[in-house]
Structure 1
Amino acid sequence: MTHPVVVMGVSGSGKSTVGAALAQRLRVPFADADDLHPEANIAKMARGEALDDHDRYPWLEQVGLWLADHLDGGVMSCSALRRTYRDQLRSLADGVEFVLLHGSREVIERRQASRPGHFMPASLLSSQFSTLEPLAPDEHGVVLDVDQSIDAVVQAYVDQRER
């Protein structure tokens, strides 16, 4: 592996689970961007308030710095919902690849229901879907369907990478 990978998508899409499994499969370090949020961001989301760009940019800076430290390979789970957020990450870590975990609202709602106690409440799912900007043709990345097993999602990435 010669570049970092960001596993991205809305809350509940499986970013952390897929990211950890992918990192293990590729034998590279893994980090979860949720662990880099400042306490103020976590508290805001826990109150059911969506983050704004002012909240996100310092957090994305930390994510980008981790990616820059892993240019030879690493996997980060991070929502990276908007193109501008992905551009910020690319500005710090040239060559980063994005893996967009795509699923229907019904699939994501079902996944969210199976993880009680997460700081991101299901009530913010609508804001996540409305914020999500799909990968543009000029962005280095792939889109994978999450309505399958974790192993199948990881294998789909590996298969696309080997083409």
Structure 2
Amino acid sequence: MEAVDEYGTQHFKPRLIIGDNVSLSEYVHIGCANHIEIGSNVLLGSKIYITDHNHGVYRGAHPDSPDVPPVNRPLTEGESIIIGDNVWIGEFCTILPGVTIGYGSIIGSHTTVTHDIPPKCIAVGSPARVIKQWDEEKKIWAPVVSS
């Protein structure tokens, strides 16, 4: 776990909040320069990477150049990660900046989460896609039909 408060000439006020009954397996790397919040009763498998920042900007009108070594690129600022209560994140997952994972969701092994995952869903793949959602009425994980 790392709370980055300084990188080169940049200064940060990292906020890393971890709820009750959170279980982390081996080799979980959490890098926080901005804001990461992990809810209560969260289960994290092994070899997971969670970061709220990147070395450089790679979209928009002013991306960082590949001619600048990554270590010399500024860290991105202002993005958060929110992981809701009762979430299970499987082995070898990556959770990238700006993501919210909703209450009760499951992130399958080897998944890269690049966008929000709604509550009570199962998401897999790289990038993550929702494949099932909890059906409150039937009390089952119902397949999500993609359009």
**What's the TM-score bracket when you normalise by the shorter of the two chains?**
under 0.3
The structure with the largest strand share of the pair is: 2
Larger helix percent: 1
Q: Structure 2 length as normaliser, TM-score?
A: 0.23
Greater relative contact order (CA < 8 Å, ≥ 6 in sequence) = 1
